[in-house]
């Protein structure tokens, strides 16, 4: 068919590959990579971004040097997808990725992923335990891990707590309680799972909308919620905080 | 469906892609290296003639090519095109994502408290991959199972033992032009095995820079091809995760049978890379039976939504169905035995 259309095909590959290189590096530079994968894999993403840019550059130089070879090349296909679709799809997704900012998961996802069962949550990686002398240095996940090892809530009654997380309104708890939550990421966003602690408020929870980030200070108490005895924080101070750059815990 | 859910799905989708793209690139890189810097004729010659031993050797080749399920398909496709016996190629295809040092190390790290999981995972994957490779060896000529383009690229039967080196370059000059002509699916022209031979000799004599160029060119082609499919698979996996309540999958059961089925389903849906799936499985270690975790770790790397798309780039749907059915049945059997007798 039209030669101009065919001669654009090789450039589509260059664009798609370069766009993915840019996208990966952009996520890294803007800190959005935290929302997508565990920091352990950051280097992998950066190396890949650079490699893709180099590949695109090499390809572009090749096309400029010997356009005829590449025109013919572009018309060939191994082809599950029709000609040009692979690059078009990749390019389209990279552009969408550049335009739409990924957002941290929020309460809706947490509820969908079973945060309501949080008190029975037993996922634990003992090697990731962070010992801390002061109970108020413990994050939500530290508390949950400690509870997993020794699940008697009375053992912690009276200890001070100071945790940061986002708000969830669980349907199975009275209006005076909310869940303060964090997502834990082990690899990528596909495997994030929520951990949370119930917080007892002195007023109705509607003051604190779901998904707002709070720093909560208080004392540990034992409550019976949803038919289970469990550890909760009796809040003495509640401060709204901005969403952290890296909202996940590990 | 509201905006938050849509954004969650998109974030998840991007996350799967951002995690998978490096491994995909690694896969096409290994595939390219294999194509231009490893003498497949020697590799093919090294493969045992016996179908069973061939399948076993293929299954263990993952140690040479440490790629996950995003990367094993391009390598397997390359092997098939080079005329490697079907038992070897299928054994490699199914086992490579699990039987490799990176996954071994990751599983060991995740299940430090349950080292038996590591050995059960490796052992079961090896047995299943070898058996399926062996079963497929009954099909002497794999061509009817393959996508036409892949079948055409295979050396003809008499050329199998001396399968060509460079499937893309069919003559000396200009090689890039030739490679395009060669892959032209529209023509009914069969590639003469002698051309492969010529290409191999031609490429072998060329300087490294020339081979490197051809290798990078192949990488671009495979990356765009498999990348497009990966986009489809990741999109489906992300949508299922966000729009189907996870409880609906998890609630399928805690029993010795239902838990296995649920975890196999989850493995197929989540489509998480084998290099990291053990951490994901760890999340279920206290709520699910040992057998079901094993099923997740063995079945997921062989078959998942993302991978099925990639498998379809090699095989016709019928063959993919056989692969899935065999892998699923054997995984279930092993996991069930573990649930009944070892936990």
pLDDT at B288 > cutoff 70: yes
Q: What share of chain A is helix, strand, coil (3-state, %, to 5)?
A: 50, 20, 30
Chain B: residue whose CA lies nearest to A49: B22
**Who's near B300: CB < 8 A, 6+ residues apart?**
B267, B268, B270, B271, B272, B274, B277
Q: Is A70 on the interface with B (CB under 8 A)?
A: yes
pLDDT for B324? 94
Interface A-B, measured as beta-carbon pairs within 8 A, has a size of 199
Q: How far is Cα A88 from Cα A5, in angstroms, rounded to an integer?
A: 14
Structure tokens at A70: 């590449």
Q: Using the beta-carbon criterion (under 8 Å), do A190 and B246 form an inter-chain contact?
A: no
Highest average pLDDT, of B12-16, B215-219, B261-265, B266-270, comes from: B261-265
Q: Which residue has the higher pLDDT, B230 or B302?
A: B302
**Shortest distance, CA B253 to any CA of chain A (angstroms):** 15
Residue B317 is encoded by which pair of tokens? 């749907």
- Interchain CB distance below 8 Å, B4 and A36: no
Mean pLDDT of B42-55: 83
Residue with the bigger pLDDT between B302 and B342: it is B302
In A76-120, beta strands by DSSP E: none
Task: Please indicate whether, in this complex, the C-beta atoms of A27 and B18 are within 8 angstroms of each other.
Answer: yes
pLDDT score recorded for residue A17: 94
Q: What is the pLDDT of residue B313?
A: 83
Tell me whether B280 touches chain A (CB under 8 Å): yes
Q: What's the confidence (pLDDT) of residue A69?
A: 60
* DSSP class of B342: -
Kindly report the three-state secondary structure assignment for every residue of A120-155.
Answer: HCCCCCHHHCCCCCCHHHCCHHHHHHHHHHCCCHHH
A59 to chain B, any CB pair closer than 8 A? The answer is yes
Residue A248's DSSP bridge partners are A183
The mean pLDDT of chain B is 76
Of the CA atoms within 13 Å of residue B96, those in its CB half-sphere come to: 27
Cβ-contact B296, B266 below 8 angstroms: yes
Residues of B in contact with A44 (CB under 8 A): 22
ipTM of the complex: 0.83
A79 and B247 within 8 Å at the Cβ level: the answer is no
Q: What is the pLDDT of residue A213?
A: 93
Q: Determine the pLDDT at residue A143.
A: 86
Tell me what pLDDT residue A167 has.
92
Which chain A residues contact residue B228 at CB under 8 A? 81, 85-90
With an 8 Å Cβ cutoff, are B279 and A108 in contact? no
CB contact under 8 A, B217 and A62: yes
Least confident of A132-136, B137-141, B300-304: A132-136
Q: What does the pLDDT read at residue A57?
A: 94
Q: How far apart are CA B289 and CA B255, in angstroms?
A: 8
Kindly state the tokens that stand for B34: 């294999």
A32 and chain B in contact, CB less than 8 A: no
Q: What percentage of chain B has pLDDT greater than the value 90?
A: 18
Q: In A, residues 211-250, which contact B (CB 8 Å cutoff)?
A: none
Provide the pLDDT confidence category of residue B64 given band limits of 50, 70 and 90.
confident
**Whether A214 contacts A164, CB under 8 Å:** yes
What's the pLDDT at B28?
78
**Nearest to residue A79, comparing CAs of B70, B218, B183, B80?**
B183
Give the span between the Cα atoms of B76 and B94, in whole angstroms.
9
For residue A24, list chain B residues with Cβ-Cβ distance below 8 A. Answer: 18, 21
- pLDDT of res. B322: 93
Average pLDDT (B160-184) is: 37
Mean pLDDT value across residues B181-185:
34
| Chain A: closest CA distance from residue B310 (Å) | 9
Question: Six-digit token pair at B7?
Answer: 């954004």
Other beta carbons less than 10 A from residue A88's beta carbon: 17
> Which of A24, A59, A76 is nearest residue B183 as measured by Cβ atoms?
A76
Task: Look up residue A45 and give its two tokens.
Answer: 């993403």
Mutation target vs B (from A25, A36, A37, A80; most B CBs, 10 A cutoff): A80
Structure tokens at A184: 């834990």
SS3 string of B13-28?
A: HHHHHHHHHHHHHHHH
Structure tokens at B284: 């279920």
Contact between residue A215 and residue A241 where contact means Cβ atoms under 8 Å apart:
yes
Per-residue pLDDT tens, chain A, 250 aa: give them: 445 555 677 889 899 999 999 999 999 999 888 888 888 888 989 999 999 999 999 989 888 887 666 544 443 334 456 667 888 999 999 999 999 888 878 777 777 776 655 444 444 444 445 555 677 788 888 888 888 778 788 888 888 989 999 999 888 888 889 999 988 887 777 777 788 889 999 888 888 988 899 999 999 999 888 778 888 999 999 999 998 888 888 7
Q: What is the pLDDT of residue B196?
A: 35
Residue B342 CA: distances (Å) to CA of B256, B286, B289, B313: 12, 16, 10, 39
- Residue B8 tokens, joined: 């969650």
Residue B42 has pLDDT above 90, yes or no: no
> What are the tens digits of pLDDT across the range B188-246?
333 333 333 334 445 566 777 777 877 888 788 878 877 887 787 778 777 877 777 76
d(Cα B181, Cα B278) in Å, to the nearest integer? 44
Q: How far is B197 from chain A (nearest CA, A)?
A: 21
pLDDT value at residue A185: 80
Q: Does the pLDDT of residue B32 top 60, yes or no?
A: yes
Q: Do B19 and A125 touch (CB under 8 A)?
A: no
How far is residue A12's CA from residue A91's CA, in Å, rounded to a whole number? Answer: 8
């Amino acid at each position: 068919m039209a030669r101009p259309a065919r001669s654009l095909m090789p450039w589509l590959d260059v664009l798609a590959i370069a766009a993915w290189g840019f996208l990966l590096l952009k996520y890294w530079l803007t800190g959005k990579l935290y929302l997508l994968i565990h920091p352990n894999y950051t280097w992998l993403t950066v190396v890949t971004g650079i490699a893709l840019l180099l590949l695109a550059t090499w390809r572009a130089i090749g096309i400029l040097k010997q356009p005829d070879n590449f025109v013919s090349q572009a018309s060939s296909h191994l082809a599950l997808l029709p000609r040009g679709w692979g690059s078009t799809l990749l390019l389209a997704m990279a552009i969408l990725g550049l335009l739409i900012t990924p957002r941290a998961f929020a309460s809706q996802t947490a509820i969908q992923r079973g945060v309501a069962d949080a008190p029975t949550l037993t996922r634990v990686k003992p090697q990731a335990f962070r010992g801390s002398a002061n109970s108020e240095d413990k994050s939500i996940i530290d508390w949950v891990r400690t509870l997993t090892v020794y699940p008697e809530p009375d053992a912690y009654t009276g200890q001070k707590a100071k945790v940061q997380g986002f708000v969830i309104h669980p349907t199975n708890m009275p209006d005076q309680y909310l869940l303060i939550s964090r997502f834990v990421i082990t690899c990528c966003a596909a495997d994030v799972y929520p951990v949370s602690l119930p917080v007892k408020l002195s007023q109705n929870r509607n003051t604190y909308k779901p998904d707002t980030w709070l720093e909560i200070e208080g004392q540990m108490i034992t409550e019976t919620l949803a038919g289970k005895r469990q550890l909760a924080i009796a809040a003495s101070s509640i401060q709204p905080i901005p969403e952290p750059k890296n909202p996940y815990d590990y | 469906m509201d905006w938050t859910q849509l954004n969650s799905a998109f974030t998840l989708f991007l996350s799967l892609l951002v995690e998978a793209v490096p491994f995909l690139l690694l896969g096409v890189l290994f595939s390219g290296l294999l194509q231009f810097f490893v003498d497949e004729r020697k590799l093919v010659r090294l493969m045992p003639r016996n179908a069973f031993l061939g399948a076993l050797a293929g299954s263990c080749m993952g140690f040479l090519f440490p790629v996950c399920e995003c990367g094993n398909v391009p390598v397997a496709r390359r092997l098939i095109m080079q005329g490697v016996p079907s038992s070897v190629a299928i054994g490699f295809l199914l086992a490579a994502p699990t039987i490799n040092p990176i996954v071994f190390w990751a599983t060991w790290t995740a299940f430090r408290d349950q080292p038996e999981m590591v050995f059960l995972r490796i052992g079961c994957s090896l047995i299943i991959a070898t058996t399926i490779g062996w079963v497929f060896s009954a099909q002497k000529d794999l061509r009817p199972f393959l996508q036409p383009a892949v079948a055409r690229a295979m050396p003809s039967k008499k050329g199998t033992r001396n399968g060509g080196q460079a499937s893309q370059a069919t003559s000396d000059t200009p090689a890039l032009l030739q490679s395009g002509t060669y892959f032209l699916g529209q023509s009914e022209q069969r590639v003469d095995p002698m051309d492969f031979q010529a290409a191999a000799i031609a490429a072998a004599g060329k300087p490294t820079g020339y081979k490197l160029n051809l290798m990078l060119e192949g990488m671009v082609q495979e990356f765009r091809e498999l990348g497009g499919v990966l986009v489809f698979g990741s999109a489906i996996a992300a949508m299922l995760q966000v729009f189907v309540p996870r409880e609906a999958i998890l609630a399928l059961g805690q029993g010795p049978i239902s838990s296995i089925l649920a975890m196999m389903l989850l493995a197929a849906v989540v489509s998480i890379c084998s290099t990291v799936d053990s951490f994901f499985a760890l999340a279920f270690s206290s709520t699910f039976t040992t057998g079901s975790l094993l099923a997740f770790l063995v079945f997921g790397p062989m078959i998942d939504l993302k991978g099925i798309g990639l498998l379809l780039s090699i095989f016709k749907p019928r063959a993919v169905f056989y692969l899935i059915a065999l892998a699923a049945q054997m995984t279930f059997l092993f996991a069930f035995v573990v649930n009944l007798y070892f936990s």
